[in-house]
Structure 1
Amino acid sequence: MEVGSAVNAVRSRRVLIGDKVQPAVVVIKDGKIHQILSDNMPTHLVVMPGIVDCHVHVNEPGRVSWEGFWTATRAAAAGGVTTIVDMPLNSIPPTNTLVHFQEKLREATGKCFVDTAFWGGVIPGNQLELRPMIHAGVAGFKCFLIHSGVEEFPHVTDCDLHAAMKQLQGTGSVLLFHAELDVQQTTEESGDSSHYSTFLQSRPDCMEIEAVRIVTDLCLQYRVRCHIVHLSSAKPLKLIKEARRAGAPLTVETTHHYLCLCAENIPAGATQFKCCPPIRGSHNQEQLWSALKAGQIDMVVSDHSPCTPDLKRLDSGDFTQAWGGISSLQFGLPLFWSSASKRGFQLADVVRLLSHNTAKLCSLDNRKGSLSPGYDADLVIWDPEREFEVEAGIHHKNKITPYLGFKLQGVVCATILRGQLVYKEGSFSPEPLGKQLLIPQRKSQTHL
């Protein structure tokens, strides 16, 4: 079957239906899952819902040299990701007004190989833009409690947060927090800037703990859905657990790099490993895995945050000056499975953490993230036993990634978007087939 053509049915003896793996035929009609029939086809490949990556920095318009919709969504398709949700920065302008959101939609038109939704941004003074953006279809909003890394997306103060929360009450929308807070350092920063430990010491766990404390207090006060992005430290999990027990509609994600990489193994000058919050030690990493298994962490995302090679300062190896961001959009599924399968996670956990819960966060769980009749026929077909090495065939724009040379388990063979084959064994559909997903406003305050 040619890439770009319509698919009428997919069959395998390993189809993920709910939390069960069983032989089945997924019958597709008009881009939706029509019905699921029992079957005894001896194919060993796994068929499951396409991945929903709800944390992706595409950077178009304005910084298309870093990444753009064409390259990012091709990388997504090659990784079995059928839906991405674009972050409001680092594009210029950022998605923090209705006019800027409309500009973003125009820029993305005709360039997306997978379906794309959009987060808006909360910055100082833009609270009256939030409801118009909700009505226009943003999935929710993101804010920073610390410098964002770009001047055009300033971080918020307590005053800004209370103003935003008042606007979001009753809308069913969600506010995402980059949860790091500047805290008074007891010791002055010192050390060789090419040593990873120097950078790690500059962003201690207490920055996340204090930020999460602010988020939990706001969430309980306003009962607005709140979400903590890219949790790197396991230490704030106690605060999150207590807030949830008290009724806070609070969710939390971690990323592939915090689960797969650890500080002890980062070489001097290897700035491709820099991100914020930082990659922490191996003991912390195992605590994140335990929290994931216990349901304390709701989902795993890429936080794909690329830049041009010069901004990574690979020539000087200066961790303090390098851009903080890791590119992994294409490799999330094998990165997760390579580590998770060794820790007792099952295929159903992959769907829950990479597809279903991520779709629920951005109010797409009525059409994405499940193999059920009436849902979009978004499927990834992959081989969980096959291994490969990350080398050639990287499809995001700038090829710098800390995973180069990694041997991973789990090869994406084909990706189907609303019943159309958009990727198969290195080939893409001739034209972008992705749609822009505008999210209808939800009145309910349900959470994961």
Structure 2
Amino acid sequence: MQKFHDKTNINAKKNLTGSSFIDYRTQPRTYKKYPHFFLSFNINDYEELGFLNNIGKITDTKTYGNESIQLRVNPSAGGLYPNEVYIQLRGIKGLVSGVYHYMPLENKITLIHELSNDGLEYYFKEKNQKKFIFLLSNAYFRSSWKYEQRAIRYLLLDTGHILGSIFAALELENIPFDIDFNFDKEALNSDFSFDNYESFYVAVSCGDYKKIEVKKLRTPIVNVCACDYQIKDTFIEEFYKNSFKDDFPIISNIDLLKDINKKILYEAINKRRSIRAFRNKGITKEDFLFITKNIFEFASKYDLEIYFINNNISNMKKGIYKNVKLQKEGDFKETAIKLALNQKLAGQSAFTLFFTSSNIKNYFYLYILSGFISQILYLRTTSINLSSSGIGAYFDDITKEFFETSNNIFYVFAIGK
């Protein structure tokens, strides 16, 4: 995977010579909608599905000239929202057991496949029936239209963010779950008739239903174009095919939000926003410890190393930290701005995190987990009325040099007030 990462690096030369004009009139559609003859259902009509309200709903609308942008509980690079969510439901009173497509704009689900003795479980190692299965896909052209080859990074980060949204929604209801990367993506992509334009990245399963082994989907699922037009990108498709692996552990029993009061967590889900500028004010060490509670340990468990620059945390020495250990004391605000492609957020923050890893074997999964952890940081930060923002564009080469690491740089995340 290293060759794909290297080809999407941003360095000073590439930043100065790269093309910058984007014709926004050509932006592809950022949502998928099935024809009117498919049955759709309002989520709020089914008590057992109430938690779905919080996985990707619209929470605000901003208007720029004649354009309106609908903001969701999960962020997306450039507001392009390449992710689609499919949910298999079993045993919901008043609903047919089937595979549904989630529609965040309408807060509805659309039935796209009615189950018989078949089901999504067939494509997983554990084939017994589950109450819920979430499948997260990406329609890559929504991102590659703007970001070209570097879109591979944003697709993974966006997947991690919506995965974090699903996790938070399940946490609100105390619903246990497993995050699973090990299903047969190739077979499912084929049976969903995606033709490589859309592809599955990760799954979440919840609750045992019946100990009955299911069969393969009996018929292919009708494909609806995820964009109003699409252009093939062989680089992105080759990257995805190179990601197929079967050895990443199932993730469960995550203790990253359990300490937050449910009402406060619900409010944080709805209030979360990506800040555009900080006020250059500091935060307390207690706030820092709350925001990052269990984060460094969780990341380290999966071969992620987090560096951060302390710009303005009281009672902590300013400087460069690796995990929570001070590496070099000093004021590095201006350097942080430079590393983040001269974006002032990185230096105005109280602290700015840099997600990194040397693990190439699990590159695909660790990049997604970087976005997942960042979504948790968004919620923890928002819950104490502080602000944060992900930064997906940065100078890869000088960031590695600055931290004196050979690790690949995955993501930059700024937190402050």
Q: What TM-score, normalized by structure 1, do the two folds share? A: 0.26
Structure with the largest fraction of helix: 2
Structure number with higher relative contact order (C-alpha < 8 Å, ≥ 6 residues apart):
1
